[in-house]
Structure 1
């Protein structure tokens, strides 16, 4: 009688319905930290920023006209957060990998919220006046200065004056590069932009979110809400944080495993008994950890799953 065929120990596919609760529970503390970051950022926007000294001789560079925002404040979270989330969810609908969707959304939110806290903390600490500070301070165009120090004596609306001391760095720029920069990293991994096959079209797709973020940053200078140094520093800050947050959850896009997050490969190689025959003795468990036949079969199946992913097929 021929021996029975070997048992395939492939992990179950991580759908939202079957694995969503488990993934969210494992990262419950991370979601609590996100809520804490939101509270901190709200507090930073409520406190009064440092009022840097502004003298009469400094007003020559601060008399730019008051203009409306080309990109409204309410639009920033739409294109920098909601837009990327829609793309991430769309990829989940096609690939059905809850690890990818959860970690991408979590990394995106960490990127924008860490950037937001850093940006607002620096704004409050630096207190640099905006290019249109003159009209915020003197809305009627009649300046008034201290006779001794030569400092401004503002008689404008307090909330408008408060906002006038928040020029450095640019929040629009930092948020844009944090959210859209993360999206660029994410798309680079999904379309394998750096597979060394020379597909320039893939590179254009990766650079498109960064171009949008750059145009938002340029609009802040055109609207006279920021100096060029503000948007440059904000853009660098957002992009650096986005890079750290992406690489916390995903391998580099140029790597062979750059398609899925780290946690998914852990799920493949160490599925923790999901859909498998469980060992009931410590000796068998030790054997699986030390390279026995069970571990070899798991690694073999995991590699086949990875190969299937690389070929664009769903792991079975």
Structure 2
């Protein structure tokens, strides 16, 4: 026997494609609103802490590699005025997406929850990228292409026999300029621009359903325009002789990776038919319209709840023994999160699967009765 939920919602095919619209969610109460805030408060705190860590590491004295005074790759002039200074970088990678995404939100889904997820995802990607970039920079200590101009070694000085030169020979009096000369790998401008504008690009692609197999070129140009802007920022670092090409390439790849990682934390796959919607909150909604109803299992061979999905493995619908009930978690205009609702359910599901596999192996190895086919 089981308890069934009296609900007029209909079956949804995998993944997340509704056959009929789900009923409108109940109005959010103040209790649920507080639960939502407390549920995502650690996420905001962590991103802010990581962002603060990113800025604090800039003053750390990192490792400084030895170099050759005859090395041509580090003999380029020091550019006093950069094409993309730090202030401009922050506007490009953070402020611009922060203002553009709400406009896209208003034109498309008009969802406060989408605004929350997009902002949190953007900050998460930038914080992760910036923190990793700074840690690698101060640890690797690779000389920039303009190091010799920053160092200003004494005239006529040459490398020691069978050796390289240390930074201690430099006559540069501004330690900030000299310290920054050993932070070439990898490019922070490249990684941050691709992290911020890359997130914006994925956000655009999801809202426009770029991968709907219809091949609209307008969608492709719009979705990848932020990547083009990020590429220009990255290339400018080689024009200013601030980075080697390897630094720019690795930084761009790192920024793209983290932007996609942070985007997928809060949005479904870009090929999903509901890619324009954000994932639903992590806590259950309050739905007073759902009522329990007693039912005999003989009328339901799969032991499901009424209004839920069948457990038949051959079915294309959701299976409640594998995926949690999306109606219990859905916020109007969002996509149900795939997989079990909590880590506890994941662990229990994994343990049950091990037990079932062990039982199947024992039955396969047990001797068959005589006369059996």
TM-score of the alignment, normalized to the shorter chain, above 0.5: yes
Please identify the structure whose Cα radius of gyration is greater: 2
For the Cα contact (< 8 Å) 2:141–2:184, is it kept in 1?
yes
Aligned partner of 1:87 among 94, 100, 110:
100
Query: Is 1:54 aligned to 2:67, yes or no?
Result: yes
Query: Is 1:163 aligned to 2:175, yes or no?
Result: no
d(CA) in 1 for partners of 2:254, 2:47? 19
Q: Which residue of 2 aligns with 1:132?
A: 146
The 5-angstrom pairing of residues 223-302 of structure 1 reads 223-263=240-280, 271-273=285-287, 276-277=288-289, 279=291, 290-292=304-306
State the 1:9 CA deviation. 4.7
Between 1:234-243 and 1:21-30, the stretch displaced more is: 21-30
Equivalent pairs, count: 287
d(CA) in 2 for partners of 1:143, 1:116? 40
State the 1:183 CA deviation. 0.7
State the 1:18 CA deviation. 11
Q: Which runs of 5+ in 1 are unaligned?
A: 1-5, 308-316
Task: Mark the CA change 1:154 to 1:13 in structure 2 (over 3 Å): closer, same or farther.
Answer: farther
State the 1:292 CA deviation. 2.5
CA root-mean-square deviation: 3.4
What is the TM-score of this pair, normalised by structure 1?
A: 0.80
The 5-angstrom pairing of residues 112-131 of structure 1 reads 112-131=126-145
Q: Which residue of 2 aligns with 1:63?
A: 75
Aligned partner of 1:100 among 102, 114, 123:
114
**Helix, strand or coil: the match of 1:207?**
helix
State the 1:205 CA deviation. 0.5
Higher helix content, 1 or 2: 1
Alpha-carbon displacement from aligned partner over 1:154-211 (angstroms, at most 9, x marks no partner): 1112110100000010000000000011111100010111111110110000110000
State the 1:262 CA deviation. 1.5
Task: Mark the CA change 1:35 to 1:305 in structure 2 (over 3 Å): closer, same or farther.
Answer: closer
For the Cα contact (< 8 Å) 1:23–1:99, is it kept in 2?
no
